[in-house]
């Protein structure tokens, strides 16, 4: 299987980042600002950004972003300087990012969930010269004396100690955009590191543009599409699937400050949304709303998801309630500028255990521990090569050397590729459970648990055992009381005996998740150790 039956733009092999040769789109914008300019030319009066009562057209987005760029220039920022954004989902986030692209600055995206020591580390590591932040996060900022390189602090909201964002916007016409090469770094996003210190993934203009074009082609996006940004904009899904994809298609992005299922349904109905990329839990929460059927969601045609398996029961319920909605699984990461695979919607039902086919131009292989490709169907570490793979980690050549081989990124995910090209992702290497020599992949067990009608979500982790090494433990959030033996029996009917959870813990609150919506199993293991 491949994408030959889709209208995919022509591709050719090109050299990237010195030692890589990858398929790239033959015709493409030369940088992010060029892509924004094309959107403004293609759909100047079409809605681009919507937040509460504020609405901007693509012409206005280009004008305001260029004015912000002029403001950056006025206070002395130069191409290549780093501008950190500590912002939640709001219009200023997008405008600041586009303004930075206009001047050739590097946007450093910081999660609003970070605490002071984490923010301090990242600002120091990237050498940011400016920080744009929301005023209610001011208490998390590092002391100025500890960060002399950080020359400018810009606040959105009232602040006596920082420049106001509104004052940063220059009123005069902006100068011509700064020439920016395709391989120049556009953004830095920090991801977890093996040593405990986050690594700054360098997303270049060309990797982000390629990712946006993949979304446009595989999801058949046009300027008529209207998407809801329900995931954090400051993370790779928000950047790639929302901001960049909508800039490429010149559609409209409706921004939610935070996801609440009831508010989402009202917004989706009112704004006639057509496109979403969310985590499965968000779709489940929508279905749990008592008034779900009273909302007109007939315009909703694309339901992208990733980060966790979508329960088969959820797929069936959505198909029943919204027959016009095409559910599309996608798999990617910060290092691949997301996505690496996409599931063609016609295969979603029959391949619910797969994350889809490699995206156009992507090559994915399962490798053994000695760096040898495994036969189809066998499980190994997924290595990924494409034009969307980042060039490396900021100021960290050692991590770059350890994670990349000849343009392939070592994902750390265990999975397989079948004879038809469908990719399965079974577990993180570090999350695989070894029970007396039997390997157990948590995603498989979680998928079975998700099929139980009373289970909202679950996480499967290893519990230490002096005899077998590890045993299977499940943490479950349920709609109603379930006896553990009943849930174990459910699993025993569908799984090999060694995969059945031997212990089950129930919790009343949702599982801990990071800003991308992925369950934080490390936190769950720490909770187990403390209990």
Give the domain ranges of the chain: 31-352, 432-530
Q: Check if the beta carbon of residue 354 is closer than 8 Å to that of residue 1.
A: no
- Residue 517: its pLDDT value, please? 64
Place 531 in a pLDDT band, splitting at 50, 70 and 90.
Answer: low
Summarize the confidence of residues 159-164 as an average pLDDT.
78
Rounded to the nearest integer, the mean pLDDT of the chain is: 92
Q: pTM for this one?
A: 0.87
Give the separation between CA 181 and CA 353, rounded to whole angstroms: 40
Give the separation between CA 461 and CA 475, rounded to whole angstroms: 8
More confident residue, 429 or 189: 189
Residue 360 structure tokens:
């156009």
Summarize the confidence of residues 97-120 as an average pLDDT.
94
Place 194 in a pLDDT band, splitting at 50, 70 and 90.
Answer: very low
At a CB cut-off of 8 Å and minimum separation 6, what does 497 contact? none
Output b/e per residue, 205-241; b: 16+ Cβ within 10 A: bbbbbbbbbbbbbbbebebebbbbbbbbbbbbbbbbb
- Residue 436: its pLDDT value, please? 78
More confident residue, 313 or 486: 486
Summarize the confidence of residues 265-280 as an average pLDDT.
95
Asked whether residue 58 carries a pLDDT value surpassing 60, the answer given is: yes
Cis peptide before 249 (omega within 30 of 0): no
Residue 46 structure tokens:
């079409």
Residue 316 structure tokens:
């069936």
Place 60 in a pLDDT band, splitting at 50, 70 and 90.
Answer: very high
Distance of CA 119 to the CA centre of its chain: 20
Give the separation between CA 210 and CA 197, rounded to whole angstroms: 29
Tell me whether residue 30 is exposed, middle or buried, using C-beta atoms within 10 angstroms of its C-beta: 0 to 12, 13 to 18, 19 or more.
Answer: middle
3-class state of residue 495 by DSSP: coil
- Residue 161: its pLDDT value, please? 73
Asked whether residue 516 carries a pLDDT value surpassing 70, the answer given is: no
Let me know how many helices (H) and strands (E) the chain has, helices first: 15, 28
How many other C-beta atoms lie within 10 A of the C-beta of residue 41? 12
Give the separation between CA 217 and CA 214, rounded to whole angstroms: 5
More confident residue, 129 or 450: 129
Summarize the confidence of residues 443-459 as an average pLDDT.
89
Residue whose C-alpha is closest to residue 378's, from 429, 419, 335: 419
Asked whether residue 515 carries a pLDDT value surpassing 70, the answer given is: no
Asked whether residue 150 carries a pLDDT value surpassing 80, the answer given is: yes
pLDDT in tens, 358-374: 999 999 999 999 999 99
Residue whose C-alpha is closest to residue 502's, from 478, 467, 454: 467
432-530 is classed CATH 3.50.50.60:
no
Half-sphere exposure of 113 (CA within 13 A, CB side): 12
Asked whether residue 170 carries a pLDDT value surpassing 90, the answer given is: no
Q: Which CATH number fits domain 31-352: 3.40.50.12780, 3.40.50.1370, 3.20.20.70, 1.50.10.20?
A: 3.40.50.12780
- Residue 506: its pLDDT value, please? 95
Give the separation between CA 73 and CA 100, rounded to whole angstroms: 10
Summarize the confidence of residues 280-294 as an average pLDDT.
91
- In Å, the largest CA–CA distance within the chain is 73
- Residue 5: its pLDDT value, please? 86
Asked whether residue 321 carries a pLDDT value surpassing 60, the answer given is: yes
3-class state of residue 435 by DSSP: strand
Summarize the confidence of residues 130-152 as an average pLDDT.
91
Q: Check if the beta carbon of residue 140 is closer than 8 Å to that of residue 115.
A: yes
Percent of the chain whose predicted confidence (pLDDT) is above 70: 97
Asked whether residue 309 carries a pLDDT value surpassing 80, the answer given is: no
Distances (CA, A) of 441 to 81, 331, 418, 430, 475: 43, 17, 17, 11, 15
Percent of the chain whose predicted confidence (pLDDT) is above 90: 73
Summarize the confidence of residues 27-52 as an average pLDDT.
98
- Residue 177: its pLDDT value, please? 95
Distance of CA 275 to the CA centre of its chain: 15
Asked whether residue 224 carries a pLDDT value surpassing 50, the answer given is: yes
Residue 42 structure tokens:
């293609």
Place 498 in a pLDDT band, splitting at 50, 70 and 90.
Answer: confident
Place 437 in a pLDDT band, splitting at 50, 70 and 90.
Answer: confident
SS (H, E, C) 368-401: CCCCCECCCCCCEEEEEECCCCCCCECCCHHHHH
Residue whose C-alpha is closest to residue 473's, from 449, 451, 455, 437: 449
Distances (CA, A) of 330 to 173, 277, 413, 429, 479: 41, 9, 14, 20, 27
- Residue 385: its pLDDT value, please? 97
Give the separation between CA 286 and CA 377, rounded to whole angstroms: 35
- Give the N- to C-terminal CA distance of the chain in Å, as an integer: 48
- Residue 195: its pLDDT value, please? 46
Asked whether residue 313 carries a pLDDT value surpassing 90, the answer given is: no
């Amino acid at each position: 299987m491949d994408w030959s039956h889709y209208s995919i733009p022509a591709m050719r092999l090109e050299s990237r980042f010195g030692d890589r040769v990858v398929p790239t789109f033959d015709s493409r914008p030369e940088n992010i600002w060029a892509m924004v300019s094309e959107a403004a030319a293609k759909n100047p009066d079409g809605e681009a950004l919507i937040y509460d009562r504020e609405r901007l057209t693509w012409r206005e987005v280009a004008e305001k972003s260029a004015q912000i760029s002029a403001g950056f220039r006025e206070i002395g920022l130069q191409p290549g300087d780093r501008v950190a954004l500590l912002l939640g989902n709001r219009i200023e986030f997008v405008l600041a990012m586009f303004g930075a692209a206009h001047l050739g600055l590097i946007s450093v995206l910081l999660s609003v969930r970070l605490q002071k020591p984490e923010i301090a580390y990242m600002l120091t590591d990237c050498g940011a010269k400016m920080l744009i932040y929301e005023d209610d996060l001011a208490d998390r900022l590092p002391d100025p004396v500890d960060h002399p390189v950080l020359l400018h602090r810009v606040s959105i909201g009232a602040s006596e100690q920082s420049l106001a964002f509104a004052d940063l916007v220059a009123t005069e016409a902006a100068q011509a955009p700064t020439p920016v090469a395709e391989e120049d770094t556009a953004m830095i996003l920090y991801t977890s590191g093996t040593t405990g210190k986050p690594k700054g993934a360098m997303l270049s203009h060309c990797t982000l543009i390629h990712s946006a074009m993949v979304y446009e082609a595989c999801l058949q996006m046009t300027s008529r599409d209207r998407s809801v940004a329900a995931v954090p904009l400051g993370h790779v899904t928000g950047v790639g699937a929302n901001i960049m994809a909508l800039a490429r298609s010149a559609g409209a992005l409706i921004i939610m400050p935070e996801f609440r299922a009831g508010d989402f349904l009202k917004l989706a109905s009112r704004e006639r949304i057509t496109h979403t990329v969310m985590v499965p839990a968000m779709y489940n929460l929508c279905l749990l709303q008592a008034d779900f059927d009273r909302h007109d969601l007939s315009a909703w045609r694309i339901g992208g998801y990733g980060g966790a398996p979508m329960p088969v029961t959820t797929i069936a319920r959505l198909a029943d309630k919204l027959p016009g909605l095409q559910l599309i699984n996608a798999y990617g990461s910060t290092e691949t500028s997301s996505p690496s695979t996409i599931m063609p919607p016609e295969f979603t039902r029959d391949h619910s255990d797969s994350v889809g086919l490699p995206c156009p131009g992507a090559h994915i292989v399962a490798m053994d521990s000695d760096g040898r490709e495994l036969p189809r169907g066998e499980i190994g570490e997924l290595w990924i090569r494409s034009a969307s793979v980042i060039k490396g980690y900021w100021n960290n050549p050692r991590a770059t050397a350890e994670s990349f081989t000849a343009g392939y990124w070592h994902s750390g995910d265990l999975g397989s590729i079948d004879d038809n090209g469908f990719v399965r992702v079974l577990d993180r290497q570090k999350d695989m459970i070894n029970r007396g020599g039997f390997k157990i992949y948590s995603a498989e067990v979680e998928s079975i648990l998700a099929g139980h009608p009373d289970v909202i979500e679950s996480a499967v982790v290893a519990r230490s055992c002096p005899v077998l090494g590890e045993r299977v433990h499940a943490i479950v959030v349920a709609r109603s009381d379930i006896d553990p033996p009943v849930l174990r029996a459910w699993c025993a009917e569908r799984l090999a005996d060694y995969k059945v959870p031997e212990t089950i813990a129930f919790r009343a609150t949702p599982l801990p998740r990071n800003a991308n919506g992925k369950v934080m199993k490390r936190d769950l293991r720490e909770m187990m150790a403390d209990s």
